[in-house]
Amino acid sequence: MKAAIARISMRTPVAAASTVTDTAVVVMDRAVVDVSDFFGHGELRLVILDILTRDASHGYELIKAIENLTGGGYTPSAGVIYPTLDFLQDQQFITISDEEGGRKKIAITANGAQWLG
């Protein structure tokens, strides 16, 4: 996980952008950062599982935890987090249960903890 976060590629400084996407380019401290440099294919799954080993969570809390982990350099959108959570649930690595108020509680399973290593 630390290696995934450590692979940040700074490029030529640019003016602040008004749009941020999860798949292309993000502006961070006036430098363009390729999001794929944060997490390689499948590494976001590992990061999410690692966060869940400490405590069950909700989608928004996972987004904020990843943002904090990257020092604010990457904030995954709901369009990235929720499909990843669906995949992890399909693999039986997490459970997603309904709570009062419509929130969903996300917890790692024994299979998820074993897969994480």
CATH of the domain at 24: 1.10.10.10
pLDDT tens, 46-55?
Answer: 999 999 999 9
- Look up the pTM and report it: 0.68
- Count of domains observed in the chain: 1
At residue 25, the pLDDT reads 37
* 109/45 Cα distance (integer angstroms): 14
The residue range of the domain holding 68 is 2-116
Retrieve residue 70's tokens: 């990257």
pLDDT tens, 67-112?
Answer: 888 888 888 889 889 999 999 999 999 999 999 888 999 999 999 9
Retrieve residue 56's tokens: 């069950």
Mean pLDDT of 6-24: 37
Position 18 pLDDT exceeds 70: no
